[in-house]
Amino acid sequence: MKTVISNTESKMGKTIDAMMRDFGAIRAGRANPSVLDRISVDYYGCPTPVNQLAAVSVTEARVLQIQPYDASVLKLIEKAIQVSDIGINPQNDGRVIRLIFPPLTEERRKDIVKDARKISEDSKVAIRSIRRDAIEKLKAMKKANEITEDDQANGEKKIQTLTDKFCKDIDDATAVKEKEIMEI
């Protein structure tokens, strides 16, 4: 029974981690290198993340600078950014690429908050699905006489406590992200 609970906690933790990565990729008006995490460049026939091909730094509050380690990759990185969905046009000066993040309008901020809430709700659905699977495992263990009815009830209670804790963590992280988006 302990393995079921520890596996459940581990899976729920991974769900929170995935949500935080998604939150990091949300473009909120300020330069953030994590917006490039999902962009890969075809480097010698192998998809390679931008941060492995170049030094990415924040030079000003709304400017992201990408300086390739190999100058021949500059055009490839620029093209990959242009075809991505980050919505920023790269500026190439021959040595570095600059991404200038425009200030967000109030309407765009509200749209971004909606996106964050959707990510949050999807994470809660995943947490609840993990809870359901764990409870089914406990029921199967009870049916196979591996645990007692009391153990099953205690296990279900612990799993529900974990679910409540992780859902609260999701709500807290979402509130922080919404505040960050609306204040910029």
Across 27-41, 76-90, 96-110, 130-144, which has the greatest mean pLDDT? 130-144
pLDDT band at 29 (very low <50, low <70, confident <90, very high): low
Mean pLDDT of the region 47-76: 89
| Domains within the chain, CATH numbers bracketed | 2-25+105-183 (1.10.132.20), 33-100 (3.30.1360.40)
pLDDT band at 154 (very low <50, low <70, confident <90, very high): very high
Helix H, strand E, coil C: the string for the chain is CHHHHHHHHHHHHHHHHHHHHHHHHCCCCCCCHHHHCCCEEEECCEEEEHHHHEEEEEEECCEEEEEECCHHHHHHHHHHHHHCCCCCCCEECCCCEEEECCCCCHHHHHHHHHHHHHHHHHHHHHHHHHHHHHHHHHHHHHHCCCCCHHHHHHHHHHHHHHHHHHHHHHHHHHHHHHHHHHHC
* pLDDT over threshold 90, residue 161: yes
